[in-house]
Amino acid sequence: MHRAASVCCLLLVTLVAGCAETGRTQTPPEVAQSSPPGTLAEAVRTARLVGLTDPRRDIRITLTLRGRDVQGLSRLLETNQTVSAAGFAARFGPDPLLVQAALRDLESSGLPGRWQAGSQLATARGSVGAIERYLGVHLRDYLLPDGTSFYAPDGEPRVPEALAGLVTGVSGLDDFTRYRSHAIRPGGLTPTDVRVVYGIDTLTSRGLDGSGETIVLPEIDDLPITADLAAFARKFNLPPFDVTVKRDATNWGRPQGQGKPGSEVTLDLEVAHAIAPGAKLVPYIGSPQADQTAVAFDALVSQNPGAIISDSIGACEAGLSSALLQQGAASNERAVAQGMSHFVAAGDRGAYDCGQNAAPSVDFPSALPTVTSVGGTTMFQTPQGTYQKEAAWGNPISQAGTGGGLSMHFPRPAYQKGPGVDNQFSNGNRQVPDVAGVADQNTGYHIILGGRDVQIGGTSAAAPLWAAVTALINQDLKKKGLKPVGFVNPALYWMGQNQSQLQASPFHQVTEGNNLAYTATAGWNYCTGLGTLQASPLDSAFETYQRRTGSQG
């Protein structure tokens, strides 16, 4: 959800620590009691039990399905090869005969189901009573001290024998676990500023505008404000937006905001359009409820092979069930196999994504090894408006800052090992973020929202920045007879470790500031990853990577 942030000016020197991990003071008990729970387990502990959930209530569950040829898919991903959507379904998707048998079993129990070929998710809908009987659980209603109500199961579901060989997890048995968007007000860079500080103007001056590329955006706010989009294009002398909105309330749920146009989706579209005005933008509007978000994202992947994903939503990794983690992992493996790039906001709570009263934690799906996690910085410009430097974004007063740290669940991928990435805090798990972009609310982005000029920050804006630059690079690579970048992480880390083979560094390395737990240091770090982008060298580096590694297709 959107959260108000402090607009007080901070001296940068107060944010710079002298060691690689800063200390954290003990939170007073009264603050801890007033903080909202970060996980379902914590919510159940602190809430009042109201009673059993009405057995007549209609809800939907999401089933995680076992795919085929897991080792073959791993080899495909490791070699950065791709397949068509039909090829993925035939080789790696769940066995259609097993799925149809499972759907018949669900139907006979009063739970009609739905599945799309190739997908590792299936959904079923029915009464609470039917779901309780089928999965051997009971749902209970709870009430938090702040008035928030939710339902949750009294234990883990038991998958019936008829589904045991196919179904590996079930989600949707609670309505507490929800995704949030990552945007904080206010901030201040115009589209021209952003193009200049990151050298994007060197690409746009060559006629690159993202034409022929598609950027898809999972969203949990309602429709974009079309009048704002038109006003933004006029104000900054950009062509009209090419936007196609996708909605499916029956299967993806309803977005937050009660039918009001969404600020998050408007922000995402305006930032992307400012950089790649020729790209087609396709927001997928769904519910913040985690299992419904997973179904909407799965549809996005199914319908857009080869597209670029800009993702500004997420949830505390530690608060998600194994079924939700599996669902996200499956959909993103499919995205990588289908040649998609996926940029995900790393989060805006610093290193404490589950809250300041919990242990350091990271955001999901940013924690997945199959996505590009985008952290945030504070930008410093010269008096002429050009690039001066950046610092890792971390504000101890508002407890806001760039997400970053170590995953609890996912092992560190092969591309993230080697000189400049290994460090003293590594525990063998996935490290985030991979890269970064300006995100501090005090140096954020100038957009038009609600008919007014406003300024917004957050890693929510850094993700579409990287997605839009990738659209320009894809357009350029295709002109040169090369393939689009697809999953970018292997190439990015190759660039970081082979800069002597490049004409210039594709990254602005960030070595100042912190994210409330980790300090930015030379090389890869837990605040800004490899750094922020330098557009023209980055474009050249992708060409060099393909030619030097033989991955040009």
- Render pLDDT for 337-354 as a digit per residue (tens, 0 to 9): 999 999 999 999 999 998
**Closest among 440, 431, 444 to 489, alpha carbons compared:** 431
Q: What angle do CA 461, 467, 470 make, to 5 degrees?
A: 145
Q: What is the pLDDT of residue 344?
A: 97
Residue 259 has pLDDT above 60, yes or no: no
What gap in Å lies between CA 200 and CA 502, rounded to an integer? 18
Q: Which of 264, 270, 348, 434 is catalytic?
A: 264
Q: Catalytic annotation on 264?
A: yes
- Report which secondary-structure segment, H or E, holds 261: strand 256-261
Cα gap 368→345, rounded to integer Å: 12
Predicted pLDDT of residue 261: 61
The C-alpha torsion from 508 through 366 and 37 to 16, rounded to 10°, is -20
pLDDT category of residue 35 using cuts at 50, 70 and 90: low
pLDDT at residue 30 greater than cutoff 80: no
Q: What percent of the chain has pLDDT over 90?
A: 71
Task: Give the pLDDT score at 12.
Answer: 28
Where is 235: in which H helix or E strand? Answer: helix 226-235
Q: CA–CA distance from 142 to each of 146, 153, 315 (Å)?
A: 12, 11, 21
**3-class DSSP string for 347-413:** CCECCECCCCCCCCECEECCCCCCCEEEEEEEEEECCCCCEEEEEECEECCCCEECCCEEEEEEECC
Confidence of residue 426 (pLDDT cuts 50, 70, 90): confident
551 — pLDDT class (breaks 50, 70, 90): confident
Rounded Cα–Cα distance for residues 138 and 4 (Å): 37
Q: Is the pLDDT of residue 126 over 90?
A: yes
Domain 180-549, CATH homologous superfamily name and number = Peptidase S8/S53 domain (3.40.50.200)
**What is the 8-class DSSP label of residue 143?**
E
The catalytic residue among 193, 219, 228, 268 is 268
pLDDT at 1: 33
Residue 247 has pLDDT above 80, yes or no: yes
C-alpha atoms less than 13 angstroms from C-alpha of 216 in its C-beta half-sphere: 23
Q: What is the mean pLDDT of residues 245-262?
A: 82
Average pLDDT over residues 51-74: 93
Catalytic residue among 460, 476, 536, 539: 460
| pLDDT band (50, 70, 90) for residue 466 | very high
pLDDT computed for residue 443 by the predictor: 86
* Nearest in space to 302 (alpha carbons), one of 317, 284, 315: 284
Q: In the prediction, which pLDDT does 177 show?
A: 76
Asked about 317 being catalytic, the answer comes back as: no
Asked about 460 being catalytic, the answer comes back as: yes
**Residue 162: per-residue pLDDT:** 86
| Tokens, residue 372 | 């590009």
Model confidence at 56, pLDDT cuts 50, 70, 90, reads very high
Identify residue 425 by its one-letter amino acid code: F
Within 8 A by CB and 6+ apart from 401, the residues are: 348, 349, 350, 351, 376, 392, 393, 394, 395, 514, 515, 516
Rounded to 10°, the helix 322-337/290-303 angle is 10
Q: Residue ranges of the domains in the chain?
A: 48-171, 180-549
Specify the pTM: 0.84
pLDDT band at 355 (very low <50, low <70, confident <90, very high): confident
